[in-house]
Chains A and B, each alone.
Chain A
């Protein structure tokens, strides 16, 4: 890894309900790149992603040990400010969940809670983010209409715009295209590739082709352990570990 790591995980262990879900995870996620987390379902991909923005805090009976450094700041430190940590990361979930408000208010929500009040400023943010997510031309005439009336693909891009509006450093995606049609999927993938100029992107995916198309690095997780981490081509085409080889060939799923 030549680049400086933006997220640095050190000896992370997660227990949920007494089950050891993540086992001694050590990983350095490079800045300004797309990293995909792959692995069979139930192996802990979502859990790993949720430790990055501390959404895991919302689950009962969770025990987290070890540390996660984001820009050299330990987000599990006792004095860490959780809203501040989450503001640094946009999250794109499996299905889009627009807030129950208008398209405009969805994008303006984040800036508003973080103190932007001036209408002209909010207007500018909304326009910029909608343009960056290629939604502007599709929705500019109904900015004050309900976000729920958009198509699923448009909603997912709106959720991305909403996340970008708080100016995060990192974008987290948890199988963010799995509910979308091929064209919408393609649009989101294109956006990820475009956005990595400015952001660090970490995606969970179970589609190997997608991981190959858009990611620079791949993390292969199996039963809560990181089996392999490296550049995409290496991990997918020339894996070092036997387990990775079997997974990539489709023998384990």
Chain B
């Protein structure tokens, strides 16, 4: 190929890349812009400090504190529970099992499949478990559904993070006479920043998902106190408010979306900040 042709090729691809970046950037800008423009006028102090008055569908008074708290409880609870389950799974698959063993390969394939299953299926599955256990739509039910939903995300992300750790680091610990659990602790230290990324992804998915909590968490105008009480969530609150015929209530849907976006933004910033502080000793 002549140098001229190569240069043209380079120019074309550079233009395509810039175009893609502009498209992504502007759609993000449009989404956030729409929410801010439509939601900001309704984002009063009452919105974040009060529970709804007069019902979601028609209520123009009060706020969505019930949904904010409900969402934080659900996503937070599911993330903690999910981590408690996925970290041991990842350690087992990557550190206890031999590299490339049949069991570890098949388990990873299974998690890939689970990762691709739509959240409504998790909702339906959790719902059937709840019926079997005699649990009604509640915070507990929602946490179960969201936990099931985010475990594959956590396991897969942790998997990829652990894969970046050279096997020699594990071997270094083992050759000093460490047990596999002690070697796992060294690796967990090494991947701490990656754990925050995993938490971030899982929490973000959990707090934003509607389908998995639709049947499982229920909805309530009150802030749940016990885990067997139904709990409102921001995504569902947005859904109900948007379907209202009253323009003010629709505006409150955008304000709720803005609140949800701000929560996620705060989580992203905080986790990046923590992750950056954790890399000091990393090789």
Q: Which residues of A contact B (CB under 8 A)?
A: 53, 55, 57-61, 83-84, 86-87, 89-91, 93-95, 97-102, 109-110, 113-114, 146-148, 159, 162-163, 166, 172
Contacts and interface: CB of A to CB of B under 8 A. Distances in A.
B172 A101 contact: no
B165 to A, nearest CB: 9
Contact of A113 (B168, B176, B281, B282): B176
Interface string B261-283: 00000000000000000001111
A172 B174 CA distance: 14
Contacts of A87: 176-177
B179 interface: yes
A86 B175 contact: yes
B282 A91 contact: no
A146 B281 contact: yes
Nearest to B187: A100
B14 interface: no
Interface in B94-149: 98-102
9 contacts: A83-B178, A86-B177, A100-B282, A101-B281, A110-B176, A110-B177, A113-B182, A146-B281, A166-B176
Interface in B141-191: 166-179, 182, 186, 189-190
Contacts, number: 88
Given A60-B100, A83-B179, A97 B174 contact: no
Given A97-B283, A146-B281, A58 B176 contact: no
Nearest to A105: B281
Nearest to B188: A100
Contacts of A162: 172, 176
Contacts of B177: 83-84, 86-87, 110, 113-114, 166
Given A99-B186, A101-B189, A148-B282, A58 B174 contact: yes
Main secondary structure of the interface of A (DSSP, over half): mixed
Contacts of B282: 100, 146, 148
A40 B261 CA distance: 59
Given A87-B176, A99-B189, 19 more contacts: A55-B171, A58-B171, A84-B177, A86-B174, A86-B175, A86-B176, A89-B175, A91-B171, A91-B175, A97-B283, A100-B281, A101-B281, A102-B281, A109-B176, A110-B177, A146-B281, A147-B283, A148-B281, A163-B176
Contacts of B173: 99, 109
Cβ-closest 10 pairs across A and B: A87-B177, A91-B175, A110-B176, A60-B98, A60-B101, A100-B190, A100-B281, A60-B100, A146-B281, A97-B168
A249 to B, nearest CB: 33
Nearest to B97: A60
A97 B169 contact: yes
B262 to A, nearest CB: 34
A87 B281 CA distance: 24
Contact of B99 (A58, A84, A86, A102): A58
Nearest to B175: A91
A11 to B, nearest CB: 24
Nearest to A91: B175
Contact of A99 (B100, B102, B172): B172
Contact of A159 (B101, B167, B172, B186): B172
